[in-house]
Structure 1
């Protein structure tokens, strides 16, 4: 189990530091029902990660994804494909990043967050976790790594739980500041949001490129061994 955790912790950290969900939760916390909406957004995020990871566990179960305690060929091909996608996506993001970070613009849908109902806030957290093109590949890769390691079901679930917890730390930090930070919380979260907005593209570009190279190496290792 230790080796699997070593494989997925980097992927979980990549999801955790994704700037857009962090910006989204800060905007959610600034709504009139910030406390409720922040919790609902975070719960939706956790369920989205867990559901997508569980789907991959079901697909990459030990009986079908691991042969003689070695990942099956299709698992290596999946990691190779995801790694290639992340490397190319990261390179494109870097090329398209604003030359002046102060000129960075947030996605238009974020301007409507303050008008969302609690149910829609929950759905937004779910979607950003499970359907986001920037986070879903990392969760899929983590689920494949866990499911292909030949672990007992209990250890698979525990490994996925660790992944989800680490991947949620980026949201739990703003939520904790909001709930416990008192009068200074608003200014602190505003500074975090501004920094994340300015450097969102550059951070994700570097992150995806590095994680993509790792997955490429993992995939090649599975296919040639």
Structure 2
């Protein structure tokens, strides 16, 4: 189990530092129902990651993700495909990065965050975790890695739970500052939001390149034992 956690730690960390969900949560916390909506957003995020990871485990187990303690061929092919996808995202992000970080633009949908109902905030958290084109490949890769390790079901579930916890740390930090930071929380979160908005594209491009190359290497090693 320890080796599996070492493999998925990078994926979890990359999900955790994804700037857009952090920015979205900070904007949510600034709304009149910030406390309730911030918690709902985080719970939705946790549910989204857990659901996508669980689906991957369910698919992997009967599909023979592990053959004699060695990942099955389809797991290697999946990792190569995900690695290429991440490299493509990375190249796209790098080309789109603003020459002047101060001119970075946030997605237009963020302008409507203050008008979202609690149910929609919950759904937004779930969608950004499970359906986002940037986070979903990382969660799928983590699920495939766990499922291909030949672990007992209990250890698979525990590994997935640890992945979800680590992947949620990026949201728990601003939520904790908001709930416990008192008067200084607004200034602190505002500074975090500004930094994340300015460097979002560059941060994600580098992460995609690094993790894309890792997945390619993992996939090739599985297909050429």
**TM tier, smaller:** over 0.9
Distance 2:156 2:62 in 1: 10
- Any gaps of 5 or more consecutive residues in structure 2? none
- Any gaps of 5 or more consecutive residues in structure 1? none
Task: After superposition, give the CA deviation of every residue in 1:140-163 in whole Å (9 maximum; x if it has no partner).
Answer: 000000011000000000000000
Distance 1:35 1:213 in 2: 39
**Structure 1 position 74, deviation (Å):** 0.3
- TM-score scaled to structure 1, two decimals? 0.99
Matched, 1:38 2:38: yes
**Structure 1 position 61, deviation (Å):** 1.2
Task: After superposition, give the CA deviation of every residue in 1:1-40 in whole Å (9 maximum; x if it has no partner).
Answer: 0110000000000000000000000011011010000000
**Structure 1 position 98, deviation (Å):** 0.3
**Structure 1 position 133, deviation (Å):** 0.3
Contact 1:93/1:204 (<8 A) preserved: yes
User: What stretches of structure 1 move > 6 A for 4+ residues in a row?
Assistant: none
For residue 201 of structure 2, what is the aligned residue in structure 1?
A: 201
Task: After superposition, give the CA deviation of every residue in 1:169-211 in whole Å (9 maximum; x if it has no partner).
Answer: 0000000000000000000000000000000000000001000
- TM-score scaled to structure 2, two decimals? 0.99
For residue 109 of structure 2, what is the aligned residue in structure 1?
A: 109
The 10-residue stretch of structure 1 (190-199 or 89-98) with the greater mean CA deviation from structure 2: 89-98
Matched, 1:159 2:159: yes
For residue 4 of structure 1, what is the aligned residue in structure 2?
A: 4
Structure 1 residues 12, 213: CA separation in 2 closer, same or farther (over 3 Å shift)?
same
The 10-residue stretch of structure 1 (114-123 or 63-72) with the greater mean CA deviation from structure 2: 63-72
Contact 1:71/1:149 (<8 A) preserved: yes
CA RMSD between the two structures: 0.8
For residue 120 of structure 1, what is the aligned residue in structure 2?
A: 120
Contact 1:62/1:151 (<8 A) preserved: no
